[in-house]
Amino acid sequence: MSQVFLYDTTLRDGAQREDLSLSLDDKLTIARKLDKFGVHYIEGGWPGSNPKDAEFFVRVRELNLKQARISAFGSTRRKDSRCEADPNLRALVDAATPAVTLVGKSWDFHVHHILNATLEENLAMIQESVAYMKSLGKEVIYDAEHFFDGYKANPAYAIATLQAAASGGADWLVLCETNGGALPWEVWEIVSAVRAKVNAPLGVHVHNDSGCAVANSLAAVRAGCTQVQGTINGYGERVGNADLITILPNLQLKMGLKVIDDEQLRGLTKLSRLVAEIANLKHDNHQPYTGLSAFAHKGGIHVAAVLKNVTSYQHIDPALVGNETRALVSELSGRGNLIYQARAHGLAITPQEADRVLQRIKELEHEGFTFEAAEASVDLMMQRARRNYRAPFDLIDFMALVEHRQGRGLVAEAMVKVRIDEEVRLTAAEGDGPVDALAQALRKALVDVYPQLQSVRLTDYKVRILNSDKGTGATTRVLINFHDGDRSWTTVGASSNIIDASWRALSDSMEYALLPAQEQEEAPLAAAS
């Protein structure tokens, strides 16, 4: 089985994405996670460009990485300087990394108009820079910038730049599709042509401007490249780099190539989501392989098939990449969606109970509810369908006020009256807004009897106006997310009154938080038939 090596450039190229900024500690954390995951090379940054990257190369030595080789990135020497005196090359030497990545020009247009050099001068810059780094005992990865555009314009010269790097002793020749405009068959043809003329290990570095970065990377491997450069989740400048999160399972699971251990591959979803969290970016629910929706099924026919055989509508077993199958519940759902979700949560539900819940879901979605992102609301409806289910509390009244008071500004207060068994409780509380005040008042009414609510906190609150043409009478949908330290859940409410919509989601969340205790007290669901 052929070995393909992963070269991660999230810490440099990925960090060039607009709206992404990594601190030094962020970079060190990501490097540690990439090493544990099994990445072979980690490009830490350009030490000659900023103090943070220079400090990274000092601090990363303390991590004692087990698998990955750290590479410092920089350009070949300047046109009129010697390698020993070139400030960029000196910064690479000072980084003290086992590998260095040198970028050089392979497109004659760039040589003439960007470097203002002759073609012969550029070849000398490449060969001498590589040879200098090799003389210092470094593994040298040569990145041939704009190689594919350069090859299209002047194939002989583009090949000559690679030969110059190879003659200097480069360990890898990486063909860079820098502008991101090539198509897969072009990449395959050009890599195949290079493979026939250059006797050195090849890599590929692709950008995603035409939406083909993953396909282009796979085409390059098929044509002979054995190193793939990219970033986690495809982060990068403009529209991004090749996404290693998608490339890796395609290489290993679809193309049968050896990249990392199977156990490491099962950490793919965790890595993808962790890096998004560190980068303070929302993880893409529709990310191939690792997205929350990657193995989610909504259509009733699909779910019915998946219940019979999970491979019927899934291209791989999601457990191979650390993900899981999900059944979404909506007005498009069939009975199987509910049965699947019940099983996933350790419940059993009869077809008759499922039909009743499904009918109620369709009625509520017609009113403006949505249950795809509110699985807790669906769970609660299934629990309420149990023969012996008893609600932990019943709402009697609630009131919410927002006032402007002299010296205090805006003040929100809420009053809640609930019944627990035969006892009626009336409580009031202030909050940052009317919904927060209602949450505080409801928790205050319940917490003496249900102390587990002490740890429950509202973490997200989303509002959407569904029919804005109705003006102030429009239906408002509210999604509320809560967390109790161990788990998080989302409930939904909808109404022409935003406070009413919020209350419905809020009270359902509090009831859902008490489900584990309820399950211990009540009889189990009837067995599924």
Question: Which residues make beta-bridge pairs with 296?
Answer: 326
Contact call for residues 73 and 45 (beta carbons, < 8 A): yes
Contact call for residues 94 and 67 (beta carbons, < 8 A): no
* Residue ranges of domains in the chain, CATH in brackets: 5-260 (3.20.20.70), 296-381 (no CATH), 393-435 (no CATH)
Residue owning tokens 């495809």: 234
Residue 329 burial (C-beta neighbours within 10 Å; 0-12, 13-18, 19+): buried
DSSP string across 434-458: HHHHHHHHHHHHHTTT-GGGGG-EE
Contact call for residues 326 and 306 (beta carbons, < 8 A): no
Tell me how far CA of residue 454 lies from CA of 79, 195, 203, 450, in angstroms. 67, 65, 55, 8
Instruction: Supply 100's token pair.
Output: 């260095």
Q: What is the pLDDT of residue 359?
A: 65
**Residues sharing a CB contact under 8 Å with residue 462, sequence separation 6 or more, in sequence order:** 478, 479, 480
Per-residue pLDDT of the chain (529 residues; tens, 9 = 90+): 589 999 999 999 999 999 898 888 889 999 999 999 999 999 999 897 788 888 999 999 999 899 999 999 999 999 888 999 999 999 999 999 999 999 999 999 999 998 899 999 999 999 999 999 999 999 999 999 999 999 999 999 999 999 999 999 999 999 999 999 999 999 999 999 999 999 999 999 999 999 999 999 999 999 999 999 999 999 999 999 999 999 999 999 999 999 999 999 999 999 998 898 888 888 898 999 999 777 776 655 554 555 555 666 678 888 899 987 766 554 445 555 655 655 665 566 666 666 666 666 666 666 556 655 567 666 666 776 666 778 888 888 888 888 887 777 788 899 999 999 889 999 999 888 888 888 889 889 999 899 888 888 888 877 776 655 555 556 777 888 888 877 778 888 777 777 888 888 888 888 888 875 444 333 333 333 2
Number of H helices, E strands in the chain: 19, 16
Contact call for residues 439 and 454 (beta carbons, < 8 A): no
Of 206, 212, 203, give the one whose Cα is nearest residue 184: 212
Q: Residue 410: phi, psi to the nearest 5?
A: -75, 135
Contact call for residues 247 and 218 (beta carbons, < 8 A): yes
- Grouping H, G, I as helix, E, B as strand and the rest as coil, residue 467 is coil
DSSP string across 12-78: TTGGGSTT----HHHHHHHHHHHHHHT-SEEEEE-TTT-HHHHHHHHHGGGG--SSPEEEEEEEPPP
In this structure, the strands spanning 202-206 and 488-495 are unpaired
Of 164, 166, 95, give the one whose Cα is nearest residue 136: 95
Q: Residue 243: phi, psi to the nearest 5?
A: -90, 110
Identify the helix (H) or strand (E) that includes residue 490: strand 488-495
Q: Could you tell me the sign of the dihedral formed by the alpha carbons of 42, 198, 126, 16, in that order?
A: negative
Contact call for residues 162 and 134 (beta carbons, < 8 A): no
The rounded radius of gyration (Å) of the Cα atoms in the chain is 29
Q: What is the pLDDT of residue 277?
A: 85
Q: What is the pLDDT of residue 364?
A: 63
Tell me how far CA of residue 326 lies from CA of 177, 301, 343, in angstroms. 37, 14, 11
Question: Which residues make beta-bridge pairs with 71?
Answer: 43, 99
